[in-house]
């Protein structure tokens, strides 16, 4: 599983813990913690241990950033209308072809 490596490291550092201390508390190897903080790759059981020890949730360590409304791009109205028109034309074409095929 992928986690946010910076978030995991920040939670550890907020507690003033070394990587070895966190590894001992999670009952995993030091290398596992180093890999988690460098690459963000952890096994599911390691993620559960990290969450339990750091008193957080898997969501808070997730790779997916929280986006605010201002970070979304507004939809292009012209593009929306063109996509709707294309979908309607495709639907009509399929309907006509299905009708002609059924008549034969």
pLDDT tens digits in sequence order for the chain, 104 residues long: 899 999 999 999 999 999 999 999 999 999 999 999 999 999 999 999 999 999 999 988 887 666 666 667 778 899 999 999 999 999 999 999 999 998 87
Q: What topology is assigned to 5-61 in CATH?
A: 434 Repressor (Amino-terminal Domain) (1.10.260)
pTM above 0.75, yes or no: no
Smallest CA-to-CA distance from 46 within 27, 62, 31 is with: 27
Beta bridge mates, 62: 3
Helix ranges, the chain (H) = 5-14, 19-26, 30-39, 44-54, 77-103
What is the domain partition of the chain in residue ranges? 5-61, 76-103
Smallest CA-to-CA distance from 56 within 2, 15, 24 is with: 15
| Residue count (the chain) | 104
Write out pLDDT tens, residues 37-54. Answer: 999 999 999 999 999 999
């Amino acid at each position: 599983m992928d986690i946010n490596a910076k978030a995991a490291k920040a939670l550890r550092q907020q507690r003033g813990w070394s990587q070895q201390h966190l590894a001992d508390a999670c009952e995993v190897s030091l290398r596992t913690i180093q890999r988690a903080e460098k690459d963000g790759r952890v096994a599911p059981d390691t993620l559960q241990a990290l969450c339990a020890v750091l008193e957080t949730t898997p969501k808070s360590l997730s790779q997916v950033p929280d986006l605010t409304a201002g970070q979304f791009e507004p939809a292009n109205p012209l593009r929306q209308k063109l996509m709707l028109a294309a979908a309607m034309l495709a639907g009509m074409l399929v309907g006509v072809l299905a009708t002609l095929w059924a008549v034969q």
